[in-house]
Structure formats: C-alpha cells, structure tokens
Structure 1
C-alpha cells in the first residue's frame, strides 16, 4: 500500500510512449542545477512497509546534469527517484522507459514522461490537490461558524462536509475501477479513509487487479491483506451482543434493547467530535424515545471520572451507558473493530444494522423516515 510519500506537493506532467522493454526499464534525465557527480538514486518501496525504501540503483549526473540508469523489474511496482537528496518523485515502473526533467533544488516539482501509469498518477494528484484546497476553504468556514456559536450553520456545514467527502470517495472509486492494469488503482485506495465501509469495493478491486496485474508483488500483498478491512458488522447484519458495566457497575447488554430502534454509539469524553455530535443525539432521543428509539452508548474512556463527567455535562439522559474503561482495547472496540470514534450504528428492532455513522441531519432524516416528523 502507498501514500503520496512527499511532504511537498508535486506537479507532474506526463505522457505515454514507448514499447515493451522485456523487464528492463531505462530512465534518462536532465537536472537543471547540476551537481557534477551528484547522486541520483532509484529506490524501491518495500512491499507492506509504508514509506520504507531500499536503494536499487545509483548513478551520477555529469557536468550538464544528464544521467541515465537502467533497472530490471520482474513486475510492475512502486519506486522513488531521489535526486541529490533534495528532490523526490514517486514512480511506477512497469514496461515503459521514462524521461525526467528536474531542477535539482528543494521545493520544485519533477517532470516525468513516458507511461500511462504516470499520466494516471498525475490525474490523481491533480484531483487531490484541488480537493485539498476545497477542504481548507470549508474548514475556515466551519471554524468561523463554530467560534461564532452559529449552531445552525455548523449543522448545515457538517452535512455539506459529509456530502463533499462522499463525493470524493465516489470519484476515487470510479477512477480506480476505470483504469486498466494500472497500479494507480492501488495508490488510489490510500485516499479512501474509512476502508471498512468500502470493503466490498476493495475486495472487487483486488479481484480486478489480480487478474490484470498478476505479476506485481504490490498487488499480491494487497490481495492477501484486503480481508483486514472487512468490517465486523456490515449493513443488514445482526449486531453482535455487548455486555458491559454501567457507571454503577451493573452489567447491561445490547440485546436487552431488542424490539426498539437503537443507536449504538461509540464515543468518549476526550473525543471532541463525539462531544460536538452529542447535542444532536440528545435532540433525537428526546424527540423519538417515546416512539421506541433508544441510545446505547459505549465509552472508550480510560477513567470513570472523565466518562461520568462528560455524561453529565452533555446531558446524556438515556440510561444505557456502558464501558470497561480500556480505551481502544475495550472488549466492545475489539469486537466491532473500532479504530476511530465517533462511530455509530443504527439498529432495527431485530438488531440488524440499517444505518452506519449517521450524524447531524443524516441521523435526523433517517429517524424521520422511520418515525415521521
């Protein structure tokens, strides 16, 4: 698995050319600000070890900044070009020669041409750079609304933010499935944050890549590990029972709420996003509790005082609060594969999952569809 490993934002201009190289790839380049006999290192990203690289080939630029290197590859893979330990560029090497133009100075981009993989990578980075600009603008509006205490606008922006993220994920999934025989599809998965929610997509992608790129160790690793992302509970599944102590030490079970619609809410007193969502959950509880809606809150706090204090301060008036005070090592967190909060599931009267991570107006809309306004 890969990420965009550089802290720098790289601008990459690419094109397709060349033919089959029978496993031998040639990379030629020109460095504008040349260091005579300066090192140009081709590094291979270690499969399964994010960010770890090992040198594959080292050459030296001449007085004019020209360099050339050849490497034999046994299948498509992720590499990094290291120029003078100042500039870095992620490469996919498969069966095409590449041409490089670089400044040799920190903070500047590297131009790479020669393969469809690199062209696809440029498109991915272009989209993500534009999306990041949108996120920054959105965050400014959100922080301003929150600082001004504009609760209505905060709620509206929360809904917009979730929709914006959903749009990003859809674009990336569509792009990954549209590419043919490209490791860029694998790179795309690193920009999809909640992989448990997208397990079916990831599983389908693994089948596709295994068929299209059977000789890639990166694909082999992805295929063999995709099961890690399989959620403990999927939509339509019956939620596993939980039985944990409440603040008074009495054991409370999730199954005791069968017959009601239940929001199974994983949260903690130290979790700011959880605390920000709590007023919305309180409103929904007060509005629909008489109709058969309950909240089963599982705290991942470490101390009883922090847990109980947050319950009181946030006015969480429902009686079903449980925790074993073991943080993410909680029995409940392990059973449900929880690695980030807030996390919530909406269960029907039979205990089946009918909603996942519904917040703000999304939770309100779902409950309105069940109980009416």
Structure 2
C-alpha cells in the first residue's frame, strides 16, 4: 500500500501540469480491472458492494481550479473490462481514479490508451500501453516511489535516534544513510530529466523533485529544462512558481530580521576546547572572527567545511580567525572530525548536543550556522555559506 499512497500524493502535488501545444480533443482509456474478487477480499472495508467505480478526471492547469470529472464507469467480477472517454482540453495529465483507491496518471498523447489494473500487485499495480508518454511516466513514478520509500525510512530512523538520545556515532551513521538515499533519489531524477524528451513528463518529474532537491539544485534543473524546452508552458509555470516561492522566502526572511544578530554585540560565552582549556568569545576581541556552529554528525556541516577551510586559508593572515562551536556529545567523534576535515582553528564544545548553552544563547534552530564578528565585537553578518562567505570576507578584509 505504501507505493500506491506515495503515487497518489505525487499526483495531488502536480496539479500545475498544463496542456501542451499539441492539442488532443478527446481521450479514451480502455482496460481491465483484474482480480476484483481478490481485491475485495484483501480490502473488505473499502468496498460496500460487488462493484468498483472508476473515474476519469482532467487535471487543470495551475492548481487554482478543481479537477474536472470527464467520465465514470462501474466494473465488477463479471464485467471487469471498462472504457473511459470524453472530450479533452488538449494533451495533458489525466487521472484514472479508483474509488476509495489510488490514482493513475496518464498522458493523452494518442487516440487510445490501454490500461490494465491489478491491485493485488501491491507495488507496480498497473500497466499501460499505446501511450509512450504514459509508459514513461509510469516507469518514473514507480521508480521514484520505491526510492522515496527508502528515503522516508532513513528520515524516520534518524528522528527516532534523536528522540531517544542515541550516541553520536549512531546518529552520524544514520545521517550518512539519509544523505546517501537522498542523493540517490535526486541523481535518479536528474538522469531522468537529462534523457527524457517529453516536456509534459519532464515537468511532472521536475515538480515532484522540488520536494527533495535543494533550492539551488532545483533552480539548476529548471534552467536546463528551460533551455531544452524554451516555449513549453509547463516549464514556464514551474519557473513562475519557483520565483514566487523564492520571493516568499525572502519576504519571510525580512520578517524575521528583528531576530537577526547583525548590528548587535556578540554575547560572551565560555566553553572548554579539545584539551579542556576554557576559551571565551571575548578573548578574540580585536580580530574578525567567524563563530561557526556545527557538529561531526551534521551532514550539511561536513559538506560546508571545505568552503570554511578555503576561507580560513585565504584570510587567516588578515586579522581573521574562526572559532568552531560544536553540538557534539561524543568527544572522540568531535576530535576525529576536526582532524579529518582539516579544521585548523580553535574549537570549543560543552558536549551537550542540542542542550548546548550555545543554542540557548544564540537561539539558532539548525546547523550549520555562523556569525561574523568585527574587532569591536559587533556582529556584521550571519549564516554565511559557500561563495557568500568568501565574498563577505573579501569586502571587510581589504
């Protein structure tokens, strides 16, 4: 049932799919709902009679309108074959919906689509033929769903480990598994988008991928699709949607601005370094210092560390240094990560995980996080990552 649930959610999340320029005035879906008696035995609570209703819906452009029902049919053990047909508003995504069951997305790129459904096959429960775009879409959805199940498992495992205060080494291993499964599903989508030649299917896949892609990854893939399909309305809509989301995020960031540390004096804080010596933020007064909050178990932190190392090596002779503040709770893992990532600056930690007093004092909700402090102790920037870090340091350390 998990795969069917995920597919239903995929379809619901892609109402934005538009009609393509190739107009199709009709749609016809012929097929068979197999093993109806077995389906009713497996899910008796879902069926109150000996028949099952199938409905055909057009999925409107943009998500602002409700789906439009085009046709419906009732099938039973004695009459398992069906035909769904009606007028179509151009080539687009159309859903066959099994009453109290999953959705099946189709593309009406041909005059007749053959659809066979077998809900006793819990994972790949339908086959489609005659429609190349629908076949490609089916293969993508099933493969993506299977990979998404693996991602969801790693997220649930990681949440459970954090909830029960597991050791750093176990959390790090689970985090690595999560990152690996997430990379696998994203790489799958990127490869699919690179080889697929149907803009409608590519739009569907790209829209789904926005759930797991980072904003930068998603923007890069949209740019490739825009170059590949410059006149496609679907891709244009995705670009507009993404631009709106970026604008909303920027506005939300501005709304949160009063909580920013920029322009305020940095609070003092004292913690032991790797050798047990007490080190205070105030001891760095007179230098530009980047206070970098991270942890050995934090995948994004470890991914960002090469950028931080590069910035340190470039500016360390210009009255600049870094103070690493770790949310680790296992000292050997903390020290090991410092060595492995070549973090050649001062590090402190109270080894208290999310109970660290650094969280209470600086009030950040996630890591990596950092603040850049000038020689007078005033925060002049925060949350600097990647190119933004080097750019800001170049501005202030002329």
TM bucket normalised to smaller: 0.5 to 0.7
Unaligned stretches of 5+ residues in structure 1: 10-19, 266-276, 296-310, 324-340, 357-373
Query: Taking structure 1 as reference, are residues 166 and 318 closer, same or farther at Cα in structure 2, changes over 3 Å only?
Result: same
- Please report how far the alpha carbon of residue 54 of structure 1 lies from its aligned counterpart in structure 2 after TM superposition: 2.5
Pairing partner for 2:86 from 60, 71, 84: 71
Structure 1 residues 261, 97: closer, same or farther in 2, change over 3 A? Answer: farther
Give the alignment of 1:48-197 within 5 angstroms.
Answer: 48-49=62-63, 53-59=67-73, 64-86=79-101, 88-95=103-110, 97-103=112-118, 109-135=125-151, 138=154, 149-189=166-206, 190-191=208-209, 192-197=211-216
Is the CA contact (8 Å cut-off) linking 1:348 and 1:354 kept in structure 2? no
> 1:29: how far off?
1.6
- Correspondence 1:296-311 to 2 at 5 A: none
The partner residue of 1:203 within 184, 198, 222 is 222
- Give the corresponding residue for 2:272: none
What is the alpha-carbon distance in structure 2 between the residues aligned to residue 354 and residue 223 of structure 1? 25
SS at match of 1:211: coil
Give the superposition deviation at 1:209: 6.6
Counting helix residues as a fraction of each chain, which structure ranks higher? 2
The one of 351, 359, 362 equivalent to 1:321 is: 362
Taking structure 1 as reference, are residues 354 and 292 closer, same or farther at Cα in structure 2, changes over 3 Å only?
A: farther
- Relative to structure 1, is the Cα distance of residues 251 and 293 closer, same or farther in structure 2, using a 3 angstrom cutoff? farther
Aligned counterpart for 1:279 among listed residues 306, 328, 336: 328
CA distance in 2, matches of 1:193, 1:176: 15
Aligned residue pairs total: 288
Look up the match of 1:342.
366
Q: Tell me the SS of whatever aligns to 2:212.
A: coil
Report matched runs for 1:346-365 at 5 Å.
353-355=384-386
Question: Contact 2:327 / 2:354 at 8 angstroms: preserved in 1?
Answer: no
* Corresponding position of 1:252: 264
1:218-237 paired onto structure 2 within 5 Å: 218-230=234-246
Deviations 1:249-300 (A, max 9, x none): x97278x9993334479xxxxxxxxxxx83379969xx899947899xxxxx
The two structures have a TM-score, normalised by structure 2, of 0.53
- TM-score normalised by structure 1 residue count: 0.56
CA contact (8 A) 1:81 1:88 kept: yes
Query: Which blocks of at least 5 consecutive residues in structure 2 are unaligned?
Result: 12-21, 38-48, 267-284, 295-325, 374-379, 388-398
Deviation of 1:97 (Å) = 2.5
Relative to structure 1, the CA distance from residue 221 to residue 278 in structure 2 (aligned partners, 3 Å threshold; closer, same or farther) is same
